[in-house]
């Protein structure tokens, strides 16, 4: 799946952004993007993969659409990893700004079709997740579950890679507790990012 010398582009919201320095184009932040780079560079140093992170904190699917030409198509990546959806759910509860499941799915599908039509990239669609640290966060699953299903079905429809982070966190949390992986239920701790990076590499290389 990963092309030798190819460009891997990470896209999404704050979970992908991970504090990256916007003025430095190649800065990957401190999250799973950076950890994936370290793992791949160690496992396959001869591959000379290139990496860019264009995650932006607070983004929803519609925000990705607004900047997709500049932050994806123009870069002509070989692999595009997308994690989006939690803010589309979160704003319903914290800002009274709901996004219908149908609209969300249409927006993500537009991203997928645009990328497949205008680049030669493979897509890696990542399941948005919540960790059940309390009832307030867990209650948001009634909305997120539909957006998760949209991502899953779109990956299947377009024959692209799907990685289920939500299921992985559920399994891991049964041993350590959810706050070990994301203290607020959304933003991963170092351990949470490590879990994401390990699963991403395992899925993509196998």
161: its two tokens:
């890679």
Marked catalytic residue, from 41, 66, 97, 184: 184
* 146 counts as catalytic: no
Marked catalytic residue, from 63, 179, 187, 198: 187
- Coil, strand, or helix at residue 186? coil
* 174 counts as catalytic: no
How many CB atoms sit inside 10 A of residue 72's CB? 23
End-to-end CA distance of the chain: 9
Marked catalytic residue, from 13, 14, 33, 132: 14
How many CB atoms sit inside 10 A of residue 41's CB? 13
* 13 counts as catalytic: no
How far apart CA 103 and CA 99 sit, in angstroms, is 7
Backbone angles phi, psi at 9, to 5 degrees: -110, 125
Angle made by CA atoms 89, 196, 59, in degrees to the nearest 5: 35
Query: Could you give the residue numbers annotated as active site?
Result: 14, 184, 187
């Amino acid at each position: 799946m990963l092309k030798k010398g190819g460009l891997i582009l990470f896209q999404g919201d704050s979970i992908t952004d991970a504090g990256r320095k916007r003025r430095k184009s190649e800065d990957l932040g401190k999250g799973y993007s950076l950890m994936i780079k370290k793992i791949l560079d160690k496992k396959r140093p001869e591959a000379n993969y290139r990496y860019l992170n264009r995650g932006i904190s607070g983004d929803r699917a519609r925000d990705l659409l607004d900047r997709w030409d500049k932050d994806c198509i123009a870069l002509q990546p070989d692999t595009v990893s997308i994690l989006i959806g939690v803010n589309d759910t979160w704003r319903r509860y914290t800002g009274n700004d709901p996004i219908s499941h149908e609209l969300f799915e249409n927006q993500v599908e537009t991203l997928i079709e645009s990328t497949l039509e205008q680049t030669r990239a493979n897509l890696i669609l990542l399941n948005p997740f919540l960790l059940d640290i309390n009832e307030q966060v867990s209650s948001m699953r009634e909305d997120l579950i539909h957006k998760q299903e949209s991502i899953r079905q779109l990956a299947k429809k377009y024959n692209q890679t799907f990685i289920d982070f939500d299921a992985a966190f559920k399994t891991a949390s049964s041993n350590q507790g959810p706050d070990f992986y994301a203290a607020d239920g959304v933003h991963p701790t170092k351990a949470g990012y490590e879990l994401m990076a390990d699963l991403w590499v395992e899925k993509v290389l196998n």
